[in-house]
């Protein structure tokens, strides 16, 4: 035990000194100033086992201790009223518009009558198709060259190459026969069954279909020099009945009475310089 006496029993006294007398008035918003802290006690020299830092209980006095409630010291600030937007007023219901009743007399509209439906005319059956009678087998007919679809023409002109060859061979009659200075061309269509080539002669009453008596007159052409005749298939052939100077087809001389079939582009030379070119169409 401590030499100073036995340790007090029960809770230690408050560290703050008691307040004596009435509490001065203060506002609810003012905060009271706390009492000053007591000075720290000197280090204790108490023997081991004695409580340190616990002051001795003061002597009791007759004055009562005033205890300030905690709620009166820290009074919370008044709460601000919360603002809430007023609810919009409901719109008044719109009045229902009712159609005004008609003022005039009621008129009943009758629907227009539908047009009468005419029945469709009856469909007449098609007449039966009669088979065509069998074609009679007729013997083949020989086509007429003038009425066939194939057309042949000849072009009559002067050939300088043929003239030089005839002159070099001595067939041309002397130096008096000269190549014409002015030449011309004629196109003649082949028609009928026969067309003669030569020069017209009043004494012999001869007018050939291809008359070479016009200028320039070829002195080497006979009165009846050659004959063109049509075949049954629409083609043409040439023959020489016996001219004085002969007839050449593509540079080959024909024999008297020989018949040669003509083709597109064949060249017939006769006389001193005459050339006849065959064309189809």
Is 34 inside any structural domain? no
To the question of pTM greater than 0.75 for the whole model, the response is no
Nearest to 167 by CA among 278, 229, 245: 245
Distance CA 44, CA 56 (A): 13
CA atoms 151, 152, 157, 159: torsion sign = positive
Count of domains for the chain: 1
Long-range contacts of 205-210 (CB under 8 A, 24+ apart): 210/154, 210/156, 210/276
What does each C-alpha distance from 158 to 20, 73, 199, 215, 248 come to in angstroms? 170, 153, 16, 11, 14
Is 69 inside any structural domain? no
Q: Which two three-digit tokens encode residue 102? A: 């008609």
Is 175 inside any structural domain? yes
Is 88 inside any structural domain? no
Distance CA 172, CA 166 (A): 6
What CATH number corresponds to the domain at position 272? 2.60.200.20
Q: pLDDT at position 149, please? A: 63
Q: What is the DSSP letter of 147?
A: G
Q: What is the pLDDT of residues 169-210, one digit of tens each?
A: 877 666 678 888 888 899 999 999 999 999 998 888 889 999
Is 122 inside any structural domain? no
Is 92 inside any structural domain? no
* Lowest model confidence (mean pLDDT) among 121-130, 234-243, 271-280: 121-130
Is 103 inside any structural domain? no
Q: Which two three-digit tokens encode residue 27? A: 């506002």
Is 129 inside any structural domain? no
Distance CA 270, CA 168 (A): 16
Range(s) of the domain holding residue 205? 151-280
Q: Which two three-digit tokens encode residue 148? A: 């066939």
Q: What is the pLDDT of residues 26-50, one digit of tens each?
A: 454 555 666 666 666 665 555 555 5
């Amino acid at each position: 035990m401590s030499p100073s006496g036995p340790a007090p029993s029960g809770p230690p006294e408050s560290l703050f000194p008691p307040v004596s007398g009435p509490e001065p008035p203060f506002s609810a918003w003012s905060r009271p100033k706390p009492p000053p802290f007591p000075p720290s006690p000197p280090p204790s020299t108490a023997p081991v086992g004695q409580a340190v830092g616990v002051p001795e209980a003061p002597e009791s006095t007759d004055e009562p201790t005033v205890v300030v409630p905690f709620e009166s010291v820290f009074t919370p600030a008044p709460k601000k009223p919360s603002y809430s937007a007023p609810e919009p007023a409901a719109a008044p219901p719109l009045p229902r518009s009712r159609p005004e009743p008609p003022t005039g007399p009621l008129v009943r509209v009758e629907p227009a009558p539908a047009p009468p439906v005419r029945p469709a005319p009856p469909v007449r059956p098609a007449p039966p198709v009669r088979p065509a009678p069998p074609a009679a087998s007729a013997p083949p007919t020989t086509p007429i060259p003038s009425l066939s679809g194939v057309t042949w023409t000849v072009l009559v002109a002067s050939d300088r190459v043929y003239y030089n060859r005839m002159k070099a061979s001595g067939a041309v009659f002397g130096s008096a026969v000269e190549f014409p200075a002015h030449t011309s061309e004629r196109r003649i269509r082949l028609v009928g069954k026969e067309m003669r080539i030569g020069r017209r002669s009043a004494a012999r009453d001869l007018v050939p279909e291809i008359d070479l008596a016009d200028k320039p007159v070829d002195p080497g052409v006979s009165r009846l020099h050659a004959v063109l005749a049509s075949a049954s298939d629409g083609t043409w052939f040439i023959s020489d009945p016996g001219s004085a100077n002969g007839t050449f087809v593509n540079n080959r001389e024909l024999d008297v009475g020989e018949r040669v079939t003509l083709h597109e582009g064949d060249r017939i030379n006769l006389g001193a310089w005459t050339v006849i070119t065959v064309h189809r169409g």
